């Protein structure tokens, strides 16, 4: 009797201790150690993903955003996985009682009673499916519910739920299986995304399409029974094929992504996707055409805003260092600093653009520079000396300005000159600075030339959209000096094969300067064209020489090629124009509505028309809220899933988009019957 009473009391004490421990544990904050990393994502200036990288073990795990997920999917998820999600505190008591009753009656644990929160806990720390694990998961679920809201728990669940292989989370799964965002999902897509986590490996559509289709069908039937879809929608969705191949996640701008994107973050850059893709292609073609392994890198900056709009470095894979970020490498800038030497001389009142300078063999103390071609031209104007990159006049001007003065000015502007002496400070700066006797990064040069484009005011480059706006900057040069330098550099002789701006109607004006480091190790070209600043570097990543290869011969043609392509997107300027800065480049939204899908002249194959048609999602980008869409003469109203058009028959259709201030964009697309459609490659 005493033993029985003792055991009963011991049981009560154990139960009370366990409950107390559970309450204490539930109140312990969730630490970052409890959270797993998510894929770094880099977006362009419009917020569209440019680059997504994997996390540990090559897993694609993109942070979910409820605002970017179809609400119909969220409703279906709650219906299928956890009906009382919004009413319980992490543990569903009714579901547990139901599971225990089923287990007692059948002897088989056929109902798991796991809530979404408990499943989230299991995603963080997988455990064996035992009663002990369930108890632990229940307490941890209570802890998560105390420290996170229901939307936050839903987002975390949809970030980490497995979709087979190395795919986790709805964003990655939708992009890989459907090649689109989960913002708008069809019933069959919703059902597949709900069926896959129940058996991620067994139902992978790329490996077991039949199992994926069967699992999707079961979910569709449950959704039909619950009234989420109609019988017709069920039939159409169940008959739809499952995706057999996986798409790739965005991988553009890998260099910038590696530089900016942090684990778990979505980094909003200022990159322009058109300029970025074009620049990468231009660098790749340039490198591929060269007979010897070489790297090429370039950066394009929107001068007025200092936003980095394109950034790339390309190298051939058949040599070491082919994929290094050479825009961040410290290299000798050659003669690209000469404009700043002359600029400081002009600020000090020592020279003007027409001041005569002596170009003849000269000695400055123990330093005896020579011109690159070892020719001397006697008396030349400062403009001629800069345009032809003569060394002796530049060193002569720096002898009066002072090497330490130039070094200090560059540092105050935000550059980081690195000298070859025992210490890295202004005391080591000498006259060799005029000829590239220091180390700079391409990003430093881009910032310095952007100062020339902005009437002498230097400010840091802007890489991401969360950087604070600077109200003022450092006056590296006076405004009239910067304007004079732009005019002089615009009139410099162009490389062989490049047409002067005044001879062609659509040839852009480029104020530029080239540079070649000692031993032909680095080829540079930096320039200002219209709204943009461009810096190009070419060379070997190991610093090896390329005898006879100059900045004028190697980097300048690429600079002008980039400038020509930029002229397609902005007003062309000539040297006759007094103002060298163009009007600000207008975005697509400012110009007018943009039809994202279907693009003009697109052909779309469909297997049904009219009411049985799945419809075509019309994606547009336009200013304001009052947007009107018409297919032919018929207006298209915006529904829960956006603008959707159901063609009644095959044929050609005209699409018109009008924004709230009346700007109009038109496009044309063709719809064909799937049974009559033949891929041109078949």
Catalytic residues: 81, 335
Q: Quickly list H helices, 535-586.
A: 556-566
CA angle 579, 460, 394 (to 5 degrees): 65
Per DSSP, what are the bridge partners of residue 532? 302, 529
Scored b (16 or more CB within 10 A) or e, 106-144 reads: eeeeeeebbbbbbbbbbbbeeeeeeeebbebbbbbbbbb
Three-state SS at 94: helix
**Distance (Å, rounded) from C-alpha 366 to C-alpha 114?**
82
Judge residue 442's burial from the number of C-beta atoms within 10 Å of its C-beta, 0-12 exposed, 13-18 middle, 19 or more buried: buried
Entry field: residues in the chain: 682
Residue 250 contacts residue 51 (beta carbons within 8 Å): yes
- Sheet of strand 266-268: strand arrangement: 49-52, 41-43, 266-268
Per DSSP, what are the bridge partners of residue 553? none
Q: How many angstroms from the chain centroid is the CA of residue 580?
A: 30
Per DSSP, what are the bridge partners of residue 311? 299
**Distance (Å, rounded) from C-alpha 233 to C-alpha 219?**
13
Taking every pair of Cα atoms in the chain, the longest distance, rounded to a whole number of angstroms, is 120
CA angle 288, 293, 296 (to 5 degrees): 65
Kindly state the DSSP code that residue 34 receives in the 8-state scheme. Answer: G
Per DSSP, what are the bridge partners of residue 620? 595
Residue 286 contacts residue 320 (beta carbons within 8 Å): no
Q: Which of 551, 509, 553 has its CA nearest to residue 532?
A: 509
- Strand locations in 465-612 (E): 474-475, 511-516, 522-529, 532-539, 594-597, 602-606
Residue 296 contacts residue 536 (beta carbons within 8 Å): yes
Three-state SS at 145: helix
Q: What are phi and psi of 40, to 5 degrees?
A: -65, 135
Peptide bond into 598 cis (omega under 30): yes
Three-state SS at 241: coil
Q: Which residue has the tokens 């300067």?
A: 513
């Amino acid at each position: 009797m005493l033993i029985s009473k003792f055991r009963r009391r011991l049981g009560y004490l154990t139960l009370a201790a366990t409950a107390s421990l559970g309450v204490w544990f539930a109140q312990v904050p969730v630490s970052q150690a409890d959270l797993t990393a998510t894929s770094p994502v880099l977006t362009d200036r419009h917020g569209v993903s440019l680059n997504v990288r994997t996390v540990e073990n090559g897993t694609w795990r993109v942070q979910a955003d409820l605002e970017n997920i179809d609400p119909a999917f969220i409703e279906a998820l709650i219906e299928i996985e956890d009906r009382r999600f919004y009413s319980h505190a992490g543990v569903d008591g009714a579901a547990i009682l139901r599971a225990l009753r089923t287990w007692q009656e059948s002897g088989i644990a056929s109902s798991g009673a796991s809530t979404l929160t408990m499943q989230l806990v299991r995603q963080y720390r997988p455990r064996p499916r035992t009663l002990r694990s369930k108890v632990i998961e229940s307490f941890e679920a209570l802890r998560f519910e105390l420290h996170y809201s229901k939307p936050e728990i839903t987002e975390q669940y949809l970030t980490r739920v497995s979709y087979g292989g190395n795919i986790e989370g709805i964003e990655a799964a939708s992009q890989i299986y459907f090649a689109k965002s989960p913002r708008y999902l069809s019933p069959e897509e919703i059902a597949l995304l709900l069926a896959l986590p129940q058996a991620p490996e067994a139902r992978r559509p790329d490996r077991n399409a039949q199992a994926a289709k069967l699992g999707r069908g079961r979910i569709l039937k449950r959704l039909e029974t619950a009234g989420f879809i109609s019988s017709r929608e069920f039939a159409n969705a169940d008959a739809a094929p499952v995706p057999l191949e996986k798409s790739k996640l965005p991988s553009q701008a890998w260099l910038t992504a590696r530089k900016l994107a942090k684990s778990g973050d979505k980094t909003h850059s200022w990159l322009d996707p058109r300029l970025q893709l074009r620049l990468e292609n231009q660098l790749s073609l340039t490198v591929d055409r060269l007979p010897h392994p070489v790297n090429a890198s370039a950066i394009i900056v929107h001068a007025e805003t200092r936003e980095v709009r394109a950034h790339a470095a390309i190298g051939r894979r058949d040599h070491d260092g082919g994929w290094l970020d050479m825009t961040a490498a410290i290299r000798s800038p050659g003669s690209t600093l000469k404009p700043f030497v002359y600029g400081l001389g002009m600020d000090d009142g020592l020279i003007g653009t027409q001041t005569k300078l002596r170009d003849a063999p000269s000695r400055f103390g123990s330093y005896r520079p020579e011109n690159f071609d070892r020719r001397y031209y006697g008396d030349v104007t400062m403009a001629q000396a800069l345009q032809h990159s003569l060394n002796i006049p530049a060193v002569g001007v720096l002898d009066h300005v002072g090497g330490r003065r130039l070094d200090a000015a560059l540092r105050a502007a935000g550059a980081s000159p690195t000298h070859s002496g025992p210490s890295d400070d202004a005391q080591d700066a000498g006259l060799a600075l005029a000829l590239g006797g220091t180390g700079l990064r391409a990003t430093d040069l881009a910032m310095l030339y952007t100062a020339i484009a902005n009437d002498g005011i230097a400010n840091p480059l802007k890489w991401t959209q969360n950087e604070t706006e600077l109200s003022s900057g450092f006056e590296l040069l006076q405004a009239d000096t910067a304007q004079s330098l732009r005019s002089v550099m615009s009139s410099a002789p162009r490389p062989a094969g490049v047409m002067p701006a005044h001879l062609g109607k659509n040839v852009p004006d480029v104020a530029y300067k080239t540079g070649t480091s000692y031993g032909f190790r680095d080829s540079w070209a930096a320039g200002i064209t219209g709204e943009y600043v461009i810096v190009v570097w070419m060379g070997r990543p190991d610093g090896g020489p390329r005898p006879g290869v100059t900045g004028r011969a190697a980097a300048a043609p690429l600079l002008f090629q980039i400038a020509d392509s930029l002229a397609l997107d902005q007003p062309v300027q000539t040297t006759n124009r007094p103002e060298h800065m163009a009007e600000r480049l207008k975005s697509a939204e400012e110009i007018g509505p943009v039809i994202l899908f279907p693009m003009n002249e697109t052909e779309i194959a469909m297997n049904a028309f009219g009411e049985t048609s799945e419809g075509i999602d019309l994606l547009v980008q336009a200013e304001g809220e009052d947007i009107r869409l018409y297919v032919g003469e018929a207006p298209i109203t915006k529904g829960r899933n956006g603008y959707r058009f159901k063609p009644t028959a095959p044929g050609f259709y005209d699409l018109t988009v009008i924004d709230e201030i009346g700007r109009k964009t038109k496009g044309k697309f063709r719809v064909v019957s799937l049974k009559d459609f033949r891929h041109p490659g078949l």
